[in-house]
C-alpha cells in the first residue's frame, strides 16, 4: 500500500482511530493490507473481517505479534496495536482501496483494466499481466481474487510506481460488479463471454447479461470497452458503450473483430493459430492447453495493443506463458498417464470446452478418461445442464466417464442413457472411492481430464493422480 498516515486511513474508511503506544494521527503506514493474519509482516495492516468459519477479531493479537502496524476492526480488541473502528470491515477495505487507487491515479501514470465474463477471467488476467509487465510495473490479482474481499486487496497493492492494475471482477449477484468496478472506474473494461456460470444467482441468462454489462457502465468517461464479437450477448453491450461515449475494440474469430484468430489447431502441446491485428497477420503458438484459451489470449492482446503495446511484442510474450493458473488445464502425471487438472471451477461452457480439448489432444491408441464432478451455482438449470454434459461426453466418444458426488449423479445417468451403459460410465460418492477405482483402471496411454467446480474438491484428486503417475 502507498504511505498514508493513520488519520488519512481513518478518514478514508470513515472510522474512529484509537492509537496505541507512541502512535499518533501522523504515524505513517505503508505495509501490505491483509485479511489473513498468517500473511502479515512487520508494518502490515490487518483487516479483522468476520467470516463464515471464524472471526478476524480473534486474530488481532496475532497480528500485533507479527508486527502489524494497524488493525481495522468492527469493535475494539484488547491488543497492543493501533485500531480503527468501523461499522463494516469489508466496506472499509473497499473504501481504502478506492482511496489508494485514486491517489496513485492522480499521479497520471496508472492505467486500470477490469475483466469480467462467465469464464476465462483468471486466464485472461494472467495473460494480460504477462504482456504488460514488460512495459512497466504491473499489479494483478493473485489466483482468483475477484470478489468483495479479493478485488480490493489487489487494488491495495498498487504503489506510486505502478503503471498497470489488472483486476478481475466476479459476481455473486446483481450489482456486485458495479460495486467492485466502481471503486476504480477502469480505463479499459474487458467482457469475455456470457454463459450459464452462476446463472442460479442471477435468475436467468438475461440477468447474467445485465450483471456482466455493469463493467461497461463502470468504465470511466473516454475509456475503452473490449468486447467479444463472437458472443451476441456481449456484442449487445456495445450499445451501452456508445451511450456512454466509450471506444469499442472487438476480438473474436469472425471478420468483424479488430483482433481476430483463424486456422486454430490444438494438440497435446498447446494451440496454434493465426492472429490478425487490424489486418496484419502473425502466427501465435500458445502453450496453455485448450483451444478455448485462444479467445482469452485475443482479449488480452486487444487490451494490450489499445494500451500502446506493440502487437509483435505482445504475441511473443503470450507464447512464453506455460500455465494459465494452477488447477486450470494444468498438465500433470508423466509419459505413461497424463492428467489434465482443470477442477478449480466449472460451468457448462468450460466443462464442454475441456471435454472437447480432451478429445482433440488424444492420439490414436490413447484412451480418453473424464473424471467429472458437479457444476455449482446453476440454480434451476442444474439438472438439465448436467444432463447435457453427460450426453456430450458420450457423443465425443470419451471412453471412460468417472462421475463423483451426489450433485453430479444426473451427469452419470445422462451418460448411461446416451449409451455408456456397459461400464464406460461409473459413479462414486466420494473422491477417495474414485481414486481407488482409477488406480486400478488407468493404463499406459491414458489421457485423463479432472473437471468440476471448486466446491466439489476434485482439484485435490487431480493433484493426487498427478503425483501417483509422475
Q: Which of 87-91, 143-147, 188-192 has the least mean pLDDT?
A: 143-147
CB 191 within 8 A of CB 238: no
Stated length of the chain? 470
CA dihedral 354, 356, 360, 362 (to 10 degrees): 70
Residues 158 and 97: beta-carbon distance below 8 Å: no
Average pLDDT over every residue of 306-330: 93
Q: Which pLDDT tens digit goes with each residue over 262-287?
A: 999 998 889 999 999 999 999 999 99
Would you state the pLDDT for residue 327? 84
For 102, counting Cβ atoms within 10 Å of its Cβ (0-12 exposed, 13-18 middle, 19+ buried), the class is middle
What is the average per-residue pLDDT within 335-363?
93
Amino acid 391: pLDDT: 97
- pTM score, two decimals? 0.89
* pLDDT value at residue 173: 78
Structural domains in the chain, CATH included, are 4-88 (3.40.1390.10), 109-318 (3.40.1190.10), 330-468 (3.90.190.20)
pLDDT of residue 253: 97
The whole-number pLDDT of residue 318 equals 97
* Average pLDDT of every residue of the chain: 94
What pLDDT is stored for residue 269 in this prediction?
86
179-203 pLDDT tens trace: 999 999 999 999 999 976 555 556 6
Name the band, by pLDDT with cuts 50, 70 and 90, for residue 422.
confident
Task: Return phi, psi of residue 134, to 5°.
Answer: -85, -10
pLDDT reported for residue 201: 57
Nearest to 81 by CA among 17, 160, 147, 30: 17
The predicted pLDDT at position 445 comes to: 93
Secondary structure in 3-state letters for the chain: CCCEEHHHHHHHHCCEEECCCCCCCCCEECCCEECCHHHCCCCCEEECCECCCCEHHHHHHHHHHCCCCEEEECCCCCCCCCEEECCCHHHHHHHHHHHHHHHHHCCCCCEEEEEECCCCHHHHHHHHHHHHCCCCCEEECCCCCCCCCHHHHHHCCCCCCCCEEEEECCCCCCCHHHHHHHCCCCCEEEECCCCCCCHHHHCCHHHHHHHHCHHHHHCCCCCEEEEECCCHHHHCCHHHHHHCCCEEEEEECCCCCCEEEEEEEEECCEEEEEEEECCEEEEEEECCCCCCHHHHHHHHHHHHHHCCCCHHHHHHHHCCCCCCECCECEEEECCCCEEEEECCCCCHHHHHHHHHHHHHHCCCCCEEEEEECCCCCCHHHHHHHHHHHHHHHHHCCCCEEEEECHHHHHHHHHHHHHCCCCCCEEEECCHHHHHHHHHHHCCCCEEEEEECCHHHCHHHHHHHHHHHCC
Through-space distance between the first and last CA atoms of the chain, rounded to whole angstroms: 41
The whole-number pLDDT of residue 196 equals 66
pLDDT at 6 over 80: yes
pLDDT of the residue at 380: 86
For the chain, give the percent of residues with pLDDT over 90: 83
How confident is the model over 22-68, as pLDDT tens digits? Answer: 999 999 999 999 999 999 999 999 999 998 788 999 999 999 999 99
Residue 419 has pLDDT above 90, yes or no: no
What is the phi/psi pair of residue 368, to 5°? -95, 130
What does each C-alpha distance from 181 to 95, 172, 190 come to in angstroms?
12, 14, 12
Amino acid at each position: 500500500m502507498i504511505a498514508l498516515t493513520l488519520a488519512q486511513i481513518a478518514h478514508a474508511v470513515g472510522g474512529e482511530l484509537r492509537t496505541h503506544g507512541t502512535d499518533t494521527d501522523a504515524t505513517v503506514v505503508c505495509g501490505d493490507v491483509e485479511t489473513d493474519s498468517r500473511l502479515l509482516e512487520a508494518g502490515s495492516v490487518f483487516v479483522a473481517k468476520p467470516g463464515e468459519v471464524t472471526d478476524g477479531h480473534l486474530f488481532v493479537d496475532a497480528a500485533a505479534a507479527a508486527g502489524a502496524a494497524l488493525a481495522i476492526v468492527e469493535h475494539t480488541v484488547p491488543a497492543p496495536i493501533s485500531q480503527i473502528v468501523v461499522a463494516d470491515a469489508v466496506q472499509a477495505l473497499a473504501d481504502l482501496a478506492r482511496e489508494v487507487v485514486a491517489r496513485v491515479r492522480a499521479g497520471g501514470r496508472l492505467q486500470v483494466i477490469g475483466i469480467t465474463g462467465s469464464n476465462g477471467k483468471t486466464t485472461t488476467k494472467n495473460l494480460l499481466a504477462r504482456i504488460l509487465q514488460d512495459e512497466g510495473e504491473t499489479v494483478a490479482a493473485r489466483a482468483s481474487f475477484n470478489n468483495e474481499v479479493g478485488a480490493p486487496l489487489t487494488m491495495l497493492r498498487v504503489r506510486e510506481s505502478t503503471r498497470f492494475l489488472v483486476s478481475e471482477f466476479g459476481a455473486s449477484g446483481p450489482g456486485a460488479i458495479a460495486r467492485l468496478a466502481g471503486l476504480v472506474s477502469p480505463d479499459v473494461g474487458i467482457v469475455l463471454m456470457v454463459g450459464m456460470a452462476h446463472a442460479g444467482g442471477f435468475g436467468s441468462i438475461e440477468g447474467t447479461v445485465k450483471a456482466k454489462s455493469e463493467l461497461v457502465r463502470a468504465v470511466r468517461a473516454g475509456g475503452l470497452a473490449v468486447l467479444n464479437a463472437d458472443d451476441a450477448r456481449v456484442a449487445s453491450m456495445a450499445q451501452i458503450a456508445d451511450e456512454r461515449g466509450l471506444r469499442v475494440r472487438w476480438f473474436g474469430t469472425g471478420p468483424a473483430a479488430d483482433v481476430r484468430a483463424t486456422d486454430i489447431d490444438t494438440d497435446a502441446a498447446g494451440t496454434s493459430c493465426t492472429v490478425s491485428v487490424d489486418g496484419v497477420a502473425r502466427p501465435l503458438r500458445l502453450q496453455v492447453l485448450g483451444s478455448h484459451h485462444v479467445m482469452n489470449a485475443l482479449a488480452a492482446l486487444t487490451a494490450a495493443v489499445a494500451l500502446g503495446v506493440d502487437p509483435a511484442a505482445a504475441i511473443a510474450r503470450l507464447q512464453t506463458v506455460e500455465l494459465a493458473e494452477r488447477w486450470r488445464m494444468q498438465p500433470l502425471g508423466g509419459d505413461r498417464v497424463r492428467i489434465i487438472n482443470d477442477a478449480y471451477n466449472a460451468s457448462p461452457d468450460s466443462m464442454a470446452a475441456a471435454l472437447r480439448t480432451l478429445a482433440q489432444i488424444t492420439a490414436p491408441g490413447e484412451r480418453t478418461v473424464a473424471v467429472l464432478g458437479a457444476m455449482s451455482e446453476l440454480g434451476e438449470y442444474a439438472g438439465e445442464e448436467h444432463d447435457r454434459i453427460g450426453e456430450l461426453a458420450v457423443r465425443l466418444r470419451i471412453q471412460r466417464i468417472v462421475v463423483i458426488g451426489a450433485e453430479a449423479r444426473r451427469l452419470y445417468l445422462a451418460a448411461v442413457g446416451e449409451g455408456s451403459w456397459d461400464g464406460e460410465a461409473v459413479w462414486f460418492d466420494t473422491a477417495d472411492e474414485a481414486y481407488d477405482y482409477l488406480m486400478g483402471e488407468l493404463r499406459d496411454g491414458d489421457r485423463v481430464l479432472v473437471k468440476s467446480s471448486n466446491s466439489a474438491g476434485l482439484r485435490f484428486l487431480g493433484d493426487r493422480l498427478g503425483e501417483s503417475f509422475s
